[in-house]
């Protein structure tokens, strides 16, 4: 089974070892086809517990493709097998290429979910801090609990530990209730809580498997497995008027294997189990220009791989997969998106991750995985993570000038952006890497958005403060992003905290790096407000266009990653 020393432990369960499946990397490795015959498919419990398998040391990732479905059709371009458990008996159907199968629910029941609001996150194992934080919220009158999230991974002598402890309040039965509680927590305590879903009981039911003529073949308990015998592409068709489709194409195709099972609502979900490297071959061209320099594409491949590992065990607790295929995780549209240049970048960085050197294996400690987030254009200066999100500061995600501090044009800004110099910064076009890149777009690097009074009043209406009287920047991070805005209206005022809520409130601004120009009439009333800004995206971590600029001036992918992730080193973990 590849390497028997490989081990994977998730916060919610152990990896169940079995014979390796075909990773079907397509252009990035074909996996171990010869062992396919001994495959045991994942059960419903395995899918919801996020259990994983390896193929020759490469992890298989479960990606949610679609949910909320009434029916699913599947076919492949090679010999296939459909595996089910019917009445407690495992059964297999073999079929030639291009044979279509239809799967529909015969009976179903939904999962039982409990909703919590995450009010704080503390390091794993810090019991004193966990107890102290819990007591604070208990004293405020909340029902308090905690959950361990994240993973600990041991691969060929390397140990990655991304576990942390969430302090949560609430514990209610409906999503609407937790959303109301989150609003109350923010209003009373200025804490921007997030939803944590607890899976209390699994969904389930009976799935009917039908042939091309609609004839019933089998009735499967909970899960239908569909895979190719010799490797090939699986085409997925989905039918539902209300489907939460995670694919942009009507008939996408996928490497690896496909599971059809029940989502939390008791409707059908499609899950693609695919090798991490094959997944990356489809992800990287969706995240960066395939015509970018190879070293920039390699940097993107390593960061995208890091994003996979950093998100495992941290999300989608009430769904039967590790990651979704939307922007919430990483954009994945299946096979056919690969490009030779990006595939080469993935191949030449296989198994490489960016880690912090301070937690080296010499002392027997786990490697500290870099939280390798990235944005399109940092506007010349990246931002600290705690400024953009309500997170604890990350050693890896420190603000960085995206250029040479020795450049006379950049020297005045080398120590950071402040209220004293931010206007000069966004009013100019400084020679940073994301400005000098051949892929730079002037309207993404610097931009202006102007709203009139009627538009502004419409934006702030949900705040309940009346008509707009004034806007005030509450503070800035060292990368120039606002920490929040005070909105003053005719009926009161409200604070909008953190970068993304501010951007969304005012018509999806391109970034939180901006200054305000307010035009008033003779009576002092606001006529227009202009946001003069820089960058596109949150600005934390790697600047993608900046990485291209660095590659164009000769930097390697390791140098690029070390710059954007505060001294990170690259290590092969599989």
Query: Is the model's pLDDT at 270 over the cut of 70?
Result: yes
Length of the chain: 574
pLDDT of residue 315: 86
Mean of pLDDT values over 478-499: 93
- 309-362 pLDDT, tens digit per residue, is 888 888 899 999 998 887 777 778 788 889 999 999 999 999 999 998 754 445
Query: Is the model's pLDDT at 18 over the cut of 70?
Result: no
Residue 88 Rama label (left phi>0; alpha psi -120 to 50; beta): left
pLDDT of residue 358: 55
Query: Is the model's pLDDT at 297 over the cut of 90?
Result: yes
pLDDT of residue 532: 98
pLDDT of residue 248: 43
**102, 278, 319, 322 from 248: Cα distances, Å:** 21, 19, 20, 20
For 141, other C-beta atoms within 10 Å of its C-beta total 8
CATH number of 112-201: 3.30.70.1070
Alpha helices in 360-461 (DSSP H): 385-388, 422-426, 433-436, 442-445, 453-460
Q: What percent of the chain has pLDDT over 70?
A: 90
Query: Is the model's pLDDT at 493 over the cut of 50?
Result: yes
pLDDT of residue 21: 36
Element (H, E) at 475: strand 468-476
- 160-180 pLDDT, tens digit per residue, is 888 899 999 999 999 999 999
Tokens (6 digits) for 179: 């959303």
pTM for this structure? 0.84
3-state secondary structure of 86: strand
Tokens (6 digits) for 101: 């199968």
Query: Is the model's pLDDT at 216 over the cut of 70?
Result: yes
Q: Which residue has the higher pLDDT, 94 or 238?
A: 94
Q: What value, to the nearest 5°, has the Cα angle with vertex 355 and ends 350 and 361?
A: 100
CA atoms within 13 A on the CB side of 69: 26
| 8 A C-beta contact, residue 390 and residue 418 | no
Q: What is the largest CA-CA distance in the chain?
A: 82
Query: In which residue are the tokens 């079929």 written?
Result: 95
Residue 482 Rama label (left phi>0; alpha psi -120 to 50; beta): beta
User: pLDDT averaged over the chain?
Assistant: 87
CA atoms within 13 A on the CB side of 37: 1
pLDDT of residue 439: 96
Domain ranges of the chain: 7-110+203-348, 112-201
**55, 95, 372, 497, 506 from 512: Cα distances, Å:** 43, 54, 20, 11, 11
- 527-566 pLDDT, tens digit per residue, is 999 999 999 999 999 999 999 999 999 999 999 999 999 8
- DSSP for 162-204 reads --EEEEEEEEES-HHHHHHHHHHHHHHH----EEEEEEEE--E
Residue 191: band (very low, low, confident or very high) from pLDDT cuts 50, 70, 90: confident
Tokens (6 digits) for 451: 């709203």
């Amino acid at each position: 089974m590849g390497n028997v020393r490989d081990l994977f432990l998730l916060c919610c369960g152990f990896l169940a070892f079995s014979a390796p499946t075909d990773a079907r990397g397509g252009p990035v490795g074909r996996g171990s086809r010869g062992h396919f015959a001994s495959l045991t498919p994942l059960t419903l419990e395995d899918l919801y517990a996020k259990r994983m398998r390896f193929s020759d040391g490469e992890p298989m990732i479960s990606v949610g493709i679609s949910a909320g479905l009434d029916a699913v059709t599947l076919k492949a371009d090679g010999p296939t097998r459909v595996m089910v458990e019917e009445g407690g008996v495992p059964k297999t159907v073999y079929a030639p290429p291009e044979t279509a199968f239809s799967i529909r629910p015969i009976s179903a029941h939904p999962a039982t979910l409990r909703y919590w609001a995450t009010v704080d996150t503390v390091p794993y194992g810090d019991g004193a801090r966990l107890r102290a934080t819990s007591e604070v919220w208990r004293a405020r009158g909340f029902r308090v609990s905690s959950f361990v999230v994240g993973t600990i991974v041991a691969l060929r002598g390397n140990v990655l530990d991304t576990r942390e402890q969430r302090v949560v309040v609430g514990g209610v039965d409906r999503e609407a209730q937790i959303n109301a509680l989150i609003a109350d927590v923010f209003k009373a305590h200025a804490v921007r809580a997030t939803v944590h879903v607890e899976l209390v009981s699994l969904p389930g039911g009976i799935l009917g498997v039908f042939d091309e003529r609609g004839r019933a073949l089998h009735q499967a308990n909970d899960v239908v497995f569909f895979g190719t015998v010799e490797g090939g592409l699986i085409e997925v068709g989905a039918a539902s008027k209300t489907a939460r489709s995670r694919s942009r194409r009507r008939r996408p195709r996928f490497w690896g294997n496909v599971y059809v099972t029940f989502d939390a609502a008791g409707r059908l979900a499609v899950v693609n189990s695919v090798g991490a490297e094959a997944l990356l071959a489809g992800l990287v061209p969706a995240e960066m220009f395939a015509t970018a320099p190879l070293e920039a594409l390699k940097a993107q491949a390593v960061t995208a791989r890091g994003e996979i590992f950093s998100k495992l065990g941290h999300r989608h607790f009430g769904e039967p997969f590790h990651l979704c295929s939307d922007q919430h995780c990483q954009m994945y549209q299946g096979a056919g998106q690969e490009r030779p240049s990006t595939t080469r970048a993935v191949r030449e960085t296989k198994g490489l991750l960016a880690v912090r050197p301070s937690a080296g294996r010499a002392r027997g400690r786990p490697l500290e995985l870099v939280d390798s987030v990235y944005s399109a254009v940092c506007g010349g200066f990246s931002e600290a993570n705690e400024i953009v999100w309500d997170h604890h500061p990350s050693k890896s995600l420190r603000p960085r000038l995206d250029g040479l501090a020795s450049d006379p044009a950049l020297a005045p800004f080398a120590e950071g952006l402040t209220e004293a110099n931010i206007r000069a910064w966004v009013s100019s076009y400084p020679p940073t890497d994301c400005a000098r890149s051949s892929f730079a777009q002037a309207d993404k690097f610097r931009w202006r958005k102007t709203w009139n009074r009627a538009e502004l009043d419409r934006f702030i209406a949900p705040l309940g403060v009346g008509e707009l009287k004034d806007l005030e920047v509450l503070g800035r991070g060292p990368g120039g992003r606002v920490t929040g805005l005070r909105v003053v209206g005719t009926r009161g005022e409200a604070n909008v905290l953190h970068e993304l809520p501010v951007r969304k409130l005012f018509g999806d601004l391109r970034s939180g790096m901006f200054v305000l120009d307010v035009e008033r009439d003779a009576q002092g009333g606001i006529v227009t407000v202009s946001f003069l800004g820089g960058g596109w995206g949150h600005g934390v971590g790697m600047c993608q266009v900046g990485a291209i600029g660095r590659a164009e001036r000769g930097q390697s992918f390791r140098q690029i990653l070390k710059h954007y992730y505060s001294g990170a080193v690259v290590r092969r973990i599989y």
